[in-house]
Amino acid sequence: MMKQEYKERLQAVADAVTSRIDTLLAPSGAPYDELKQAMAYSVNAGGKRIRAALAAECARMFGAAEDVCIEIACAVEMVHTYSLIHDDLPCMDDDDLRRGKPSCHKVFGEATALLAGDALLTLAFSVIASMPQTVSADPANCLRASQILSSFAGIDGMVGGQVMDLQNENAVVPAETLKQTNALKTSALLSAACQMGAAVAGASEEMLACLFDYGYHLGLAFQVIDDILDVISTEEELGKPIGSDDQNHKTTFVSLLSLEGAKKLAEEHTNQAAQALKKLPDPAFLTELTQDLLNRRA
Amino acid sequence: MMKQEYKERLQAVADAVTSRIDTLLAPSGAPYDELKQAMAYSVNAGGKRIRAALAAECARMFGAAEDVCIEIACAVEMVHTYSLIHDDLPCMDDDDLRRGKPSCHKVFGEATALLAGDALLTLAFSVIASMPQTVSADPANCLRASQILSSFAGIDGMVGGQVMDLQNENAVVPAETLKQTNALKTSALLSAACQMGAAVAGASEEMLACLFDYGYHLGLAFQVIDDILDVISTEEELGKPIGSDDQNHKTTFVSLLSLEGAKKLAEEHTNQAAQALKKLPDPAFLTELTQDLLNRRA
């Protein structure tokens, strides 16, 4: 696939997801319409729609219709957004800004932000469960997608990773712990996105296992590169101050393994992600996306 | 059904649900086991398991096996518990106590309580999505149950009701608004519990509609009686100070309709709940439960 075609497909998925989510969250005149406003504000706050693209393109790879691809993409994007809203709350990371814009609770208040996160998580499962009606998807395949999402977003997935992240604060943790934290916090939902897409299209468990591996290594490579960029990038390129991890006394792959060791680790996970892709029927888009994410300068 | 048999079945469901949830939340030696402790603490904090009983008995009514009844009951109980944990957080009702015990965030801290709520909501959908494997349930029926839960627990259900509840604080609201708030905040999950149970057992949409009606009126009758008891009960019977609604300047069905008007409204909703039950194949348990809830003194 040419880089141009990859970029066009990424943009097309992003646009279709935004449009569909706008429809799902359109005000209905209910007294609680502000909830939908808060949800839509955060879902459309400028994310790159990476998880949505993974879900949509994996569904497409196994033969799903366009509307099925977009529906499952919306579900995973909602879960990603809910996790960001809750992560930004004062009792968690207490972040006033998200991608340069005021975070949900700064605009709508803490209570509404909490409930907007809750409602986005709930709506994601509603979108999947309604797919037999909305886009003629197979009920058993949808249930498998719901199982994947709930399993990778929960205790032994994203939420467990957030608990580990809290525990790691202001502590020097060993590399294995840092790896496990990132595997749960980041890889889990990337893996889930790929597998959910493939599952609604009826892919085999063997293919789902390949996509699990792909997401696992993609997530780890992504995080290691994040840590590297925090050291070697410029503030101009990164769009935020560099060296923030060091100032926050945060254990990173660079602080544990040195810059060279971290670069080697990123390369290893990138290679293993590429290996996993080789087993898939049509990995061209994912191959481009992997390169795009891992060669980034910011 | 004799009152004794009803009480025994209620207790049997409660015990089976507690036992199953203990298994699902057993520590695994993971670094994030504290999350499971927080979840288990709140799920087992002494609730009456009303929603669990409704789900289990509606599944049983339409022919589900015992393990199916308990599994779907666990799912709705988890969603109920998540809503209580988030409701007690400082940014919401800021309640230090729940059923006489310290609330989740007082024991485990705000961040862990927030994540415990998130993980319980997620686990509920995981339990349902895994039922074809865990208890041999039909995938399409499980997806329908997942759809019901996500629809009644989300924007146009429980979460929407919580947004309205926040809006109603310190305001005099008309009776219709109070009714809509309680229909969303309380009736929605009662309706969902009944319908989820019936759906996993393959009940018809017509039966689900009756159970919707039943849950709707049961929830409203329950809330009106709550408001009445706050005025006419004694502190000893209620286990908490009476007159608290009045002191908190809270609009209630009694403040809007007078004590007589509220009693009449409770009676109307009780009668309509009973009407809905008449259309079901074996409503004996639900009839007893309705009487038990609505004749309570506390």
Mutation target to probe the B interface, by most B beta carbons within 10 A, among A72, A74, A118, A181 is A118
DSSP A62: T
Mean pLDDT of B165-180: 92
User: Which pLDDT belongs to residue B240?
Assistant: 67
What is the helix (H) or strand (E) element at residue B102, kind and residue range? strand B101-102
Q: What is the pLDDT of residue A290?
A: 94
- Report yes or no: B177 at the A interface, CB cutoff 8 Å: yes
B164–A115 C-beta distance less than 8 A: no
Q: Per residue in B79-128, pLDDT tens?
A: 999 999 999 999 999 999 988 899 999 999 999 999 999 999 999 999 99
Band (pLDDT 50/70/90 cuts) for residue B238 is: low
Beta bridge partners of A97: A102
Amino acid at site A186:
T
- According to the CATH classification, is domain A3-294 in 1.10.600.10? yes
Q: Which residues are CB-contacts of B115 (< 8 A; sequence separation ≥ 6)?
A: A86, A159, A162, A163, B35, B38
**Which residue type sits at A200?**
V
DSSP conformation letters of A116-132: HHHHHHHHHHHHHHTHH
What is the structure's pLDDT at A170? 81
Measured at the alpha carbon of residue A27, what is the angle toward residues A24 and A29, in degrees to the nearest 5? 135
Contact B92 A112 (CB under 8 A): no
SS3 A98: strand
Which residues of chain B make contact with A142, given a CB cutoff of 8 A? 143
Distances (CA, A) of A26 to A131, B159, B188: 19, 16, 21
Of A240, A244, A220, A219, which Cα lies nearest the Cα of A231?
A: A244
CA of A158, closest CA in chain B: separation in Å? Answer: 9
Angstrom distance (rounded) from CA B213 to CA B206: 11
Share of chain B above pLDDT 90, in %: 87
The mean pLDDT of B182-206, rounded to a whole number, is 98
Shortest Cα distance from A231 to chain B (angstroms)? 29
CB pair distance less than 8 Å for A36 and B86: no
Mean pLDDT by 10 residues, chain A (298 residues): 92 97 97 98 94 98 98 98 98 92 97 98 98 98 98 98 93 94 98 98 98 98 94 74 75 94 95 96 96 83
Does the CB of A111 have a partner CB in chain B at under 8 Å? Answer: yes
- State the Cα–Cα distance between residues A69 and B274, nearest whole angstrom: 45
Give me the residue spans of the domains in chain A.
3-294
Facing B130 at nearest CB: one of A82, A109, A147: A147
Nearest chain B CA: its distance from A133 CA (Å): 11
Which pLDDT value is given to residue A244?
74
Q: Is A167 on the interface with B (CB under 8 A)?
A: yes
